[in-house]
Amino acid sequence: MDIAEKLRQDIEDSEMVLVGIGEEMGISEHEIMNSMPVLFQENMDFEQRLGYLMRQAYQQITGERYLLAYKRLNELIQKKNYFLVSVNTDNLAKRADFQESRQVYPCGGYDKLQCPSGCEAEWEQPDERWDSWAKESLRRMHTVQSFPEKAHCRKCGRELVFNNIYAEKYREEGYFADWAKYTKWLQGTVNHKVCILELGVGMKYPSVIRWPFEKIATYNQKATFYRIHSALYQMPDSLNGAGYSVPENPVDFLINKFV
């Protein structure tokens, strides 16, 4: 039995499925910056403008290859008791058909604005005028000169930024409710047959997925653990044969092995 068929069988036989999504399953800010260097270097006199461009770029990118991989993943786990945790900010997984109540994005995204100082003010929703400006800028492939006035924190007056890990003082509480659901779900995995699937998770934020997943697989004797990554696929010796390393890009693996 090859590794793909074994994974399919272990998911089928499991009571619960834990999925971790990492950098290789998404589009990074770095990739967008490299593909549109002129756009992101011209007239970047404040951070909020760049944030809206990033937000709009993610919305416009079709990401067909990634979405197909997510479709394959959903087909594998949709009938199971699963939870998905992702360190990506690109929102691609949110465009797939996973149940909303079974997802958490602890690194944030581009859904709302916060004060960079972390002021406890109300969350600001993105301004439609700024979205229109960013959409037109991307269409023209250069920045336009007329744009709405930037938003400021009502408490300290600083320019708002998007609520994600790149903020100066990231307000994680925006995702506390989803994280609470996740931790409660994790508590229910004790003494249950769990299939752990780690897809493209590197060492960017190892304390969110990589190390906790290893710990779960080590202490739960009924767990099986699959780590799929093009380079960082190695498993710790503590798993005693319960872990399977797959040295492949997870997007290619899902698309090619689960047709």
- Locate all alpha helices (DSSP H) within the chain, ordered by sequence: 3-13, 29-35, 37-41, 47-60, 64-77, 128-140, 176-187, 210-219, 250-257
What per-residue confidence (pLDDT) applies to 213?
Answer: 96
- In one-letter notation, the amino acid at residue 25 is M
Q: How confident is the model at residue 44 (pLDDT cuts 50, 70, 90)?
A: low
Rounded Cα distance, 215 and 238, in Å: 9
State the sign of the Cα–Cα–Cα–Cα dihedral 169, 201, 255, 220: negative
CA–CA gap between residue 259 and residue 255 (Å, rounded): 6
The better pLDDT of the pair 46, 195 is held by 195
Decide if pLDDT at 83 tops 80: yes
The continuous run of DSSP H or E covering 243 comes out as strand 243-246
> Contact at 8 Å (CB) between 238 and 231?
no
In the chain, how many domains are there? Answer: 1
Query: What CA–CA distance (Å, rounded) separates 102 from 248?
Result: 26
**Whether pLDDT at 36 is above 90:** no
Query: Residue 208 — very low, low, confident or very high, per pLDDT cuts 50/70/90?
Result: very high
219 class by beta-carbon count within 10 Å (0-12 exposed, 13-18 middle, 19+ buried): exposed
* Helix or strand holding residue 114 (H, E): strand 108-114
144: Cβ contacts below 8 Å, ≥ 6 apart? 133, 136, 137
**pLDDT of 164:** 94
Residue whose token pair is 């994005």: 105
Q: What is the pLDDT of residue 111?
A: 92
Residue 42 confidence class, pLDDT cut points 50, 70, 90:
low
Where in the sequence is the domain holding 96, given as residue range(s)?
3-257
Residue-wise pLDDT tens digits, 153-202: 999 999 999 999 999 999 999 889 999 999 999 999 999 999 999 999 99
**In this structure, what CATH number is given to the domain that contains residue 175?**
3.40.50.1220
| Position 241 confidence tier, pLDDT thresholds 50, 70, 90 | confident
User: What does the alpha-carbon distance between residue 198 and residue 209 come to, in Å, rounded to a whole number?
Assistant: 8
pTM for this model (two decimals): 0.91
Instruction: Determine the pLDDT at residue 39.
Output: 64
Q: What is the pLDDT of residues 53-70, one digit of tens each?
A: 889 888 877 778 999 999
